[in-house]
């Protein structure tokens, strides 16, 4: 029940979120709301409405207010769920949309919005179960396509192939790109399956199946403690950059790729790494040019490229692949994926500091302090990368052995399906879960 005076929630589970809002901490309130999935929807909506109002999200505020007043009607439930998804809080949408679907089980609109919320949360198995529960009413496009899509991301290739076989060609051109991407995904799965387990710890295999990315290295820390090959926080160094370039060289050789140049992207980090790559690969370095064929495009971090002057335009030009073009990204953020998916990635991280950025170090007094930016010319830093020690970090001993030969054997097996199609964004971590840190 709500207080007649101020309509604040009375559920004790919501007290912490309310206290955050009283103190002006909207992000804190949203984090608290993630912990109360079983609280009454009307009371949750009351708190969400306050948070949305404080954040200036008038659409969500109105939808939450309407749901708080009528928490048992389909339209307020749906409109609130839709607004939550649009405003980037899909976890708040899921309980409302599930309730709306239980009240209107034949509503394809509610089902699709629920699936969208599950996808945004990486809950692909839940999306599969929701679609299978309404299988008799599924339209082929988009519903059965979404079933295949989520089955792959849940790691269920058997179901994905079975449902994919039932999909006719789309009648509308708008779905042709999605069909072609799905065909490529399943083609990559067929190529990778004989040489990679594709289980819930096979990070390299699934990165390839999902996005066509060859993952060069696995994090040597916390593999069995929740990270499964991804880094959480990484303070990068020159040796790791060189290791990534040497693995890229091995990948190109294993795939039979013969680039004629290295293309330099506009951001400083990518230019530094690109100059080093030109030395390692023995190729001339040239500024990036859209449509250039038979070239290796080097990015340190594609999100960094997107923030550079002219970066958004370059990212858009990389979406469509030029013949013989290979896009390599050294440090790729898996919790905030770049707008285009690279063909080759050295490592996956949540947060990384490049060697030339101001990282953390131990000061003379033993305290941790922020270091200085390396302002030397790009060529000087690139030369230091080329001369660095590329030996991998021994780590904690828990990560499976991953010699270069294991990588090149994988690439040799899948090379017939590599470098195909566009570079659509890969938004999901897929079947291999890793711990996230706020």
pLDDT of res. 328: 98
Instruction: Inform me whether the pLDDT recorded for 347 exceeds 70.
Output: yes
Beta strand 351-353 with 360-362: parallel, antiparallel or unpaired?
unpaired
* Averaged pLDDT score across all residues of the chain: 95
Region 31-45: mean pLDDT is 89
What pLDDT score does 10 carry? 60
For residue 6, is pLDDT > 80? Answer: no
Residue 282 has pLDDT above 70, yes or no: yes
Q: Region 170-178: what's the mean pLDDT? A: 95
pLDDT band at 136, cuts 50/70/90? Answer: very high
* Region 272-276 average pLDDT: 98
Q: Kindly tell me if the per-residue pLDDT of 3 is higher than 60.
A: no
Extents of the domains making up the chain: 12-184, 200-417
Res 7 pLDDT > 60:
no
CATH fold of the domain at 200-417? Rossmann fold (3.40.50)
Interhelix angle 145-153/176-192, rounded to 10 degrees, is: 30
Per-residue model confidence (pLDDT) at position 363: 66
Burial classification of residue 23, based on how many CB atoms lie within 10 Å of its CB (0-12 exposed, 13-18 middle, 19 or more buried): exposed
Per-residue confidence (pLDDT) for residue 370, from 0 to 100? 84
Rounded mean pLDDT of 337-364?
Answer: 92
Question: For the residues 158-166, what does the mean pLDDT come to?
Answer: 98
Give the mean model confidence (pLDDT) for residues 276-305. 98
Name residue, tokens 């439930």. Answer: 77
Arithmetic mean of pLDDT, 179-201: 98
User: Which residues partner with 331 through β-bridges?
Assistant: 347
* Structure confidence by residue, pLDDT tens digits, 361-384: 766 676 777 889 999 999 999 999
pLDDT at residue 5 in the model = 37
Percent of the chain with pLDDT over 70: 96
The tokens of 250 are what?
A: 């091995």
Residue 13: the pLDDT is 73
Q: For residue 60, what are its two tokens?
A: 């969500």
Summarised one tens digit per residue, pLDDT across range 66-115 is 999 999 999 999 999 999 999 999 999 999 999 999 999 999 999 999 99
pTM of the model: 0.94
Q: What is the pLDDT of residue 39?
A: 87
Residues 237 and 356: beta-carbon distance below 8 Å: no
Contacts of 415 (CB under 8 A, 6+ apart): 254, 255, 256
Number of C-beta neighbours around residue 172 at 10 A: 7
Selected from 2.40.50.140, 1.10.3720.10, 1.25.40.10, 1.20.58.1880, the CATH number assigned to the domain covering 12-184 reads 1.25.40.10
46 in Cβ contact with 8 (< 8 Å): yes
pLDDT at 393 over 80: yes
């Amino acid at each position: 029940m709500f207080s007649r005076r101020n309509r604040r929630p009375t559920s004790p589970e919501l007290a912490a979120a309310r206290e955050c809002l009283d103190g002006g901490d909207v992000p804190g309130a949203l984090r608290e709301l993630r912990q109360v999935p079983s609280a009454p929807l009307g009371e949750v909506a009351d708190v969400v409405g306050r948070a949305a109002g404080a954040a200036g999200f008038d659409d969500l505020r109105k939808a939450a207010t309407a749901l708080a007043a009528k928490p048992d009607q389909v339209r307020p439930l749906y409109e609130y769920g839709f607004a939550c998804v649009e405003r980037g809080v899909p976890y708040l949408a899921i309980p409302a949309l599930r309730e709306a679907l239980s009240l209107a089980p034949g509503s394809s609109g509610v089902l699709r919005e629920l699936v969208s919320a599950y996808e945004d949360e990486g809950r692909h198995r839940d999306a599969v179960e929701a679609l299978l529960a309404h299988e008799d009413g599924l339209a082929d496009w988009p519903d059965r396509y979404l079933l295949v899509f989520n089955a792959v991301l849940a790691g269920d290739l058997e179901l994905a192939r079975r449902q994919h076989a039932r999909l006719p060609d789309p009648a509308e051109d708008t779905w042709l790109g999605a069909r072609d991407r799905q065909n490529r995904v399943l083609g990559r799965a067929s190529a990778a399956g004989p040489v990679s387990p594709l289980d819930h710890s096979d990070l390299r295999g699934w990165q390839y199946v999902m996005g066509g990315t060859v993952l060069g290295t696995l994090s040597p820390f916390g593999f069995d403690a929740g990270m499964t090959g991804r880094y959480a926080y990484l303070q990068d160094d020159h040796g790791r950059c060189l290791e990534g370039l040497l693995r890229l060289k091995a990948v190109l050789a294993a795939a039979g790729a013969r680039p004629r140049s290295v293309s330099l992207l506009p951001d400083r980090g990518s230019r530094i790494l690109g100059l080093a790559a030109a030395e390692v690969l023995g190729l001339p370095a040239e500024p990036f040019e859209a449509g250039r064929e038979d070239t290796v495009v080097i990015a340190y971090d594609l999100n960094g490229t997107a923030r550079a002057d002219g970066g958004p335009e370059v990212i858009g030009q990389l979406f469509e692949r030029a013949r013989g073009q290979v896009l390599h990204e050294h440090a790729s953020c898996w919790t905030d994926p770049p707008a285009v998916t690279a063909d080759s990635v050295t490592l996956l991280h949540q947060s990384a500091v490049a060697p030339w950025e101001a990282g953390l170090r131990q000061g003379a007094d033993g305290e941790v302090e922020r270091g200085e930016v390396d302002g030397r010319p790009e060529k000087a830093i690139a030369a230091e990368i080329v001369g660095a020690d590329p030996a991998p970090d021994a780590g904690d001993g828990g990560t499976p052995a991953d010699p270069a030969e294991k990588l090149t054997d994988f690439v040799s097996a899948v090379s017939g399906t590599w470098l195909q199609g566009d570079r659509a964004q890969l938004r999901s971590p897929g079947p291999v879960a890793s711990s996230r840190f706020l």
